[in-house]
Amino acid sequence: MTHRALVNTLKHVFNNKGQSMMEYILVIGLIALAVIASLSPLEKILIDKLTEFAAAISTS
């Protein structure tokens, strides 16, 4: 999806006329996919940091 198509889609979704529950579900689904996709590369970093934190707490 191009930037212009995404902007047009979001304008349509947030327009007060003709909004449907399906449009909201699609937008929420796309946002959820974007969040999941952005967290996947950070997974190892997050696991390492949480492991360090847990180790620091257990040695205190």
Q: What are phi and psi of 17, to 5 degrees?
A: -95, 135
Name the more confident of 30 and 14. 30
So where are the chain's domains?
3-59
Coil, strand, or helix at residue 39? helix
- Over the stretch 15-35, which tens digit does the pLDDT of each residue have? 655 567 778 888 899 999 988
Across the range 27-50, mean pLDDT stands at 88
Q: What percentage of the chain reaches a pLDDT higher than 90? A: 27
Whole-prediction pTM: 0.44
Q: Give which of 35, 31, 38, 36 is closest to 9, Cα–Cα.
A: 31
Res 58: pLDDT: 87
